[in-house]
Amino acid sequence: MAAARINCSSVQNSLCFLNPLQYYSFNSKASHLRTHLHFRRNFPSPSSRRALFCSAATTRNGGSAEAEPFVLTTPLYYVNAPPHMGSAYTTIAADAIARFQRLLGKKVVFVTGTDEHGEKIAAAAASNGSAPKEHCDVISQAYKNLWKDLDIAYDKFIRTTDPKHEAIVKEFYSRVLASGDIYRADYEGLYCVNCEEYKDEKELLDNNCCPMHLKPCVPRKEDNYFFALSKYQKLLEDTLTQNPDFVKPSFRLNEVQSWIKGGLRDFSISRASVDWGIPVPNDSKQTIYVWFDALLGYISALSEDTKESNLQKAVSSGWPATLHLIGKDILRFHAVYWPAMLMSAGLGLPKMVFGHGFLTKDGMKMGKSLGNTIEPNDLVSKFGSDAVRYFFLREVEFGGDGDYSEARFINIVNAHLANTIGNLLNRTLGLLKKNCQSTLVVDSSIAAVGTAFKDDVEKLVEKARVHYENLSLSSACEAVLEIGNAGNLYMDERAPWSLFKQGGAAAESAAEVFKKHTLLHIF
């Protein structure tokens, strides 16, 4: 008879939005939360962890959950300033999705990194008296440190100043040139340095201010290399019609389609006035436009760190990506410019671009340029990473905007993590620790026995799975919370603690409560 040994630390496995080691206690007197339990680091085997989600995954992939890697990217964050809660938001969401896909048994390649070239970086470095690369090293490290504090388990961290990236950008540029899609011309327009983008006058506020950065755009005239985006108008239109899942949520697809319908203009992909960038092949007087360079980081991240890295090798290591997770501010670059660039270079398109909303402060996008940011480090050191991860995923409907309030943060985390999930884990694990040497042998034949509680929870697990798959992260959190509520109710009804107290046959039957209904197995 096969038996699975399950120990206390296995219970966290379906809580993809939490890190593996922290559970919360509710402290009604204290104005903050505190982490109070740490469990052993011996996690169950990957196969037992996957058991619950795996059957669905295998069915969908025609029997092979491992077939295709799930390649997931965050934006490569611009190192003009250290990370803030907005940068953390995308990365936390990506980490929860990556964990969920790993639970399904997929090979996941989770890519993040930093975008390090361009005028704004050179200016930021100059203003603090450093050389650009020195500045980038410091800020890039700040991102890595924050990801560590937030328990972000990425697989690849690409810096656009990495030599392998530069080689791949030049090769890509040459391919696009060979396709006849690059030409030289004069350009005159209004430029937002913070967006690193020429703007149409009609999208600007009074005084030619950028609506996102509230700073006036400056007139610029340059002799640049251009990418023939307009050539791809029809192809992009057809691609979006045939693959409506390419842009999510669907209301953003409408936005992208209307941009394209409005007419695509070629865009300049080099800068004569910017030294801090990758030189244009065969023209050392110009550097490659930061966006043309940065988007390629998603591909160069996939290549090994060897001198022989090249575009083809990188592409064969997992391209095209399954999912680009981005904020809506950079949707145009990812859903219009990027696919056209890839088509021009003869490379496959990512399967999906998901543009989530903004964390706002007083209704404005929180951002480095406006300086209206919340410090994730402060939140993590005050409340712990689980609380931060959970709150933002649960509170903001993924895709829409959301405001931060500390009072709401404390209420939500106390009610959901401490009072519901933490309480359930505390009670269950406390009883196990006290009465079962922290270990329970769950017989798989018993685990298969149907009970109303187990059936209910399995339905909720399936609900959570569907929400995770659809990237409805707030609803996934809600489904997991429902499992917590059902578990607490079940414990209240059965009160195994009083049976354990009675000892003898009663205690035996309490142990059966755990075995038969396999709460731990379900988690």
192 binds, among Zn ion, ligand ATP, none (CB under 5 to 8 A by kind): Zn ion
Least distance CB 79 / ligand ATP (angstroms): 8
Closer residue to ligand ATP in complex, CB, 105/327: 327
Q: What angle do CA 504, 509, 515 make, to 5 degrees?
A: 135
The residue within the footprint of Zn ion, chosen from 195, 256, 330, 491 (CB under 5 A), is: 195
**CB 333 to ligand ATP: min, Å:** 9
Residues 6+ apart with CB under 8 A from 371: none
b/e string for 394-426 if b means 16 or more Cβ within 10 A?
bbbebbeebebeeeebbebbbebbbbbbbbbbb
The window from 210-218, 311-319, 329-337, 345-353 that contacts Zn ion (CB under 5 A) reads 210-218
Closest approach of ligand ATP to the CB of residue 327, in Å: 3
**Span 126-145, contacts to ligand ATP by CB under 6 A:** none
Closest contact distance (angstroms) between CB of 89 and ligand ATP is: 5
Helix (H) or strand (E) holding 416, with range, is none
- Chain residues 8-37 in contact with ligand ATP, contact rule CB under 6 A: none
Closest residue to ligand ATP in the complex (CB): 86
Closest CB 206 distance from Zn ion, rounded Å: 15
Task: Return the residue matching tokens 């992939």.
Answer: 61
DSSP structural state of residue 400: B
Q: What angle do CA 57, 97, 325 make, to 5 degrees?
A: 120
Is 72 strand, coil or helix?
Answer: strand
To the nearest whole angstrom, how small is the minimum distance from the Cβ of residue 350 to ligand ATP? 15
Residues between 16 and 45 that touch Zn ion (CB under 5 A): none
212 counts as binding Zn ion under rule CB under 5 A:
yes
Residue 369 interacting with ligand ATP (CB under 6 A): yes
Which CB sits closer to ligand ATP, 331 or 481?
331
Question: Is 147 in contact with 154 (CB distance < 8 Å)?
Answer: yes
How far apart are the two ends of the chain, measured CA to CA in Å? 22
| Interaction pattern, residues 329-358, with ligand ATP; x per rule: CB under 6 A | xx---------------------------x
Residue 505 C-beta: closest distance to ligand ATP, Å: 57
Our finding on whether 192 is near Zn ion (CB under 5 A) is yes
Task: Indicate the length of the chain as a whole number.
Answer: 523
List the Cα angle 467/469/471 in 5-degree steps. 70
The helix/strand/coil state of 77 is strand
Shortest distance (Å) from residue 77 CB to ligand ATP:
4
Three-point CA angle 72, 67, 44, nearest 5°: 80
Calculate the CA 109 to chain-centre distance. Answer: 12
Instruction: Determine the interface stretch with ligand ATP among 121-129, 274-282, 307-315, 326-334 (rule: CB under 6 A).
Output: 326-334
The whole-angstrom separation of Cα 28 and Cα 419 is 10
359 binds, among ligand ATP, Zn ion, none (CB under 5 to 8 A by kind): ligand ATP
Given Zn ion, ligand ATP, none, residue 209, with its beta carbon under 5 to 8 Å by kind, binds none
491 binds, among Zn ion, ligand ATP, none (CB under 5 to 8 A by kind): none
In the list Zn ion, ligand ATP, none, the entry touching 327 (Cβ below 5 to 8 angstroms by class) is ligand ATP
Binding of ligand ATP by 194 (CB under 6 A)? yes
Q: Who contacts 346 (Cβ-Cβ below 8 Å, separation ≥6)? A: 175, 179
Residue 437 backbone class (left: φ over 0; alpha: ψ -120 to 50; beta: rest): left
Q: Does 255 bind ligand ATP (CB under 6 A)?
A: no
Binding of residue 213 to Zn ion (CB under 5 A):
yes
Q: Does 138 bind Zn ion (CB under 5 A)?
A: no
**Do residues 440 and 510 make contact, with C-beta atoms less than 8 angstroms apart?**
no
What 8-state DSSP symbol labels residue 244? G
Ranges of H-type helices in 151-224: 163-178
Residue 89 binds ligand ATP (CB under 6 A)? yes
Considering the complex, state which of residue 288 and residue 486 has its C-beta at the smaller distance from ligand ATP. 288
With 0-12 CB in 10 A as exposed, 13-18 as middle and 19+ as buried, what is 204?
middle
Q: How far is the CB of 181 from ligand ATP (least distance, A)?
A: 26
Q: Beta strand 247-248 with 197-199: parallel, antiparallel or unpaired?
A: unpaired
142 touching Zn ion, by CB under 5 A: no
Q: Which of 44, 82, 86, 249 binds ligand ATP (CB under 6 A)?
A: 86
Longest dimension (CA), the chain: 89
* Burial classification of residue 313, based on how many CB atoms lie within 10 Å of its CB (0-12 exposed, 13-18 middle, 19 or more buried): middle
Q: Footprint of ligand ATP on residues 60-79 (CB under 6 A)? A: 75, 77-78
Query: In terms of CB distance, is 329 or 401 closer to Zn ion?
Result: 329
Binding region for Zn ion (CB under 5 A): 192, 194-195, 210, 212-213
Binding region for ligand ATP (CB under 6 A): 75, 77-78, 80, 86-87, 89-90, 194, 326-327, 329-330, 358-359, 365-370
